[in-house]
Structure 1
Amino acid sequence: MIKSMVASALIAGCAVGLLAALLHFAFVQDYILLGEEFESGARVHFENAAPATPEGAGHAHATPDAAAAPHDHGSAAAHDHGSEAEPGAVQRNALTVLFAVLIYTAYALLLAAGFGLAESFGATITARDGLLWGIGGFVTFQLAPAMGLAPELPGTIAAELGARQLWWWLTVGCTGSGLALLAYGRHWALFGLAGALLALPHVIGAPHPDQFWGVAPPEVAGAFSARVLGTALVVWALLGWVAATVWHREIRST
C-alpha cells in the first residue's frame, strides 16, 4: 500500500503541478505582475482621472510609499514587466513551476493517505471517487479559506500573518473533517457535527485589518481572486482523478 501511495502521489503531483504552473502563467500571473506595479508605485490607481482630487480626498487609497511597506518587493524599476527579457523572469518562472510541482505532490500525498485510510475501512477508491476527493480538497484547502481570506494580490493589505495562518489551519481542519463526516458518516449525529465543523471557522470569523487602504484597484483584486479559485478547481479535480486512477491500478496489480 505504501508503494501505491507514493507512486500515485508522485505521478499525480508532477503531472498536475505542471498543469497548475501552465494555468498560472496563462490566467493568474499577469494580475500578480499588475498588482506589483501598483504596489511599487509604477502605476497609480486613478492616476489619469480628471479633475485631480486634492491630497487625502476623493478615492485615494494611500500613497505608493505607504502601501509598498507590507509587500516590499522592490523598486518600480525592478518591476518593469513590459519585457519578457527581464533578467529575473526566467528564474521566477522556473521557481513557479518547481513550487507548483512540490505543492501538488504534497497535496497528492495527502489524498493518497486518505485513499489508504478509506480502503482500510472497506471503501473502494475509483477514478470517479478520486474526482470527488479532488473537489473536496479544493473546498477544504482553497474555497472555504477564501470565504474569509480571499487570495491576496500584491498592493492589497491583510491582517497580521500569524492570525491569518491560525485561522487558515482551523478552517482547513474543520472543513476537511466536516466533509469526511458528511461523506462517510453513518448517523444523523455525525451529520450534525459535520455541519457545526463546517460553520465554526466562519462563525469565529477571519482576521481582518481595522481599515483598508491598499493601492491595487479592487477590480484587479477581484479578477485575481476569481482566477485563482477557478484554476484551482480544475487542478484539484484533475489531481484527485489522476491520483485515484494510479492508486486503483497499483492496488489491482499487487
Structure 2
Amino acid sequence: MCLCLAARGEDEVFFRWNPPDGLVRQERLISHRRAERPDAGGHVDRKETLTEVAYHSQPTGYVYAATQVAYQAARDGTPTFDLRLALFNQVPLQYHLDMVGRLREIDGLAALVVRARSMQPDDPRVPLVVREENYRRERREAWDQRYGRMVGKRGKLGDSWRVSDEYLLPGDRRLVFHITTKLVEKLRCADHDCVRLEFFYHSTPEPRSATWEIPFIPPTQVKESEITGWGERILDPSTMLIYLEREVFVIRFKPGELGPQPVVVEERVECSFSTGGRGER
C-alpha cells in the first residue's frame, strides 16, 4: 500500500472505530442498474433496501449487528422478485470486531445457506456455490472496502492511498482491483466534524473465466471484461459512522462474452442513514 502525503501543516485526521454504544441507525440503499446491448436495447433495474444497524461495545471489542428489514425491486418501473434481496431479508448478521475495529468473525451466515438451499431445492448448482465460506468471504471483502482499509489510519487533506486487492471468484479464480482513496475535505454533517473521501478503482483486464451473480442467474462464462468505478463517502473519522455514500461503476463485456455485441452495465448507488429503529434502546 502506498500513502501519498500532502503538504505539511494540515490538520491530521485519525480514523477510529468508536460508535456510541447502543446506537441504532437505518441504512437506505438505492441502486439503478442499466444494461445496454447495441443489438437488443437495454433495461433499468431499480433496487432499494432498508437495513437496521445496531452498534454495541464489549470488553473484547465491538459488535456491528445488521438486519435487512425491507426491500423493493423493479425493472423499467414494473415490480419484480429479486431472489438475492429476498434471501437476505430478515436474516440478522453480527460482525464481531476487535478493540481497534478490525473484523474478526461474522455470525448468521449459516442461516443464509439454509435459506438459499431451501429457496432453490432443484438447482444442482446451489450446493456447489452456496456455502458459508463463500458468504463469509463476500461479506468480509465488502466490509474491508467500506471500513477495514481506513480504520486505524492517519492522514491529512490531499493524502491518498493506493492498494491492489484480489477478489476470489467461484472455482478459485481471481479478479484484481486497483483502488485509490483520497482524503478530499473536512466538513460538518449532522453536527459532527466529518471528512469526504473519494475513491476510484478499476480491474486489470486479463483473460479469465468468471461466473457472475451465482446462483441467482444462470452462469455466464466471461473470458475478459473490465470494471471501473468511482464514488465518495462522507463520514465522521472519530467514530467511523458514515452519513452518505455515492458510487458509480461500469462493467464492459467484450464481444463474445454475452453475445456477438459488446455489453455495458452501469450501476449508480446511493446510501443514506438515519438514527433510530425498532431495536433502539
Place the TM-score, normalised by the shorter chain, in its bin. under 0.3
- Structure with larger RCO (C-alpha < 8 A, sep 6+): 1
Q: Which has the higher helix share?
A: 1
Look at both structures and tell me which one has the larger radius of gyration over its CA atoms.
1
For normalisation by structure 1, the TM-score amounts to 0.26
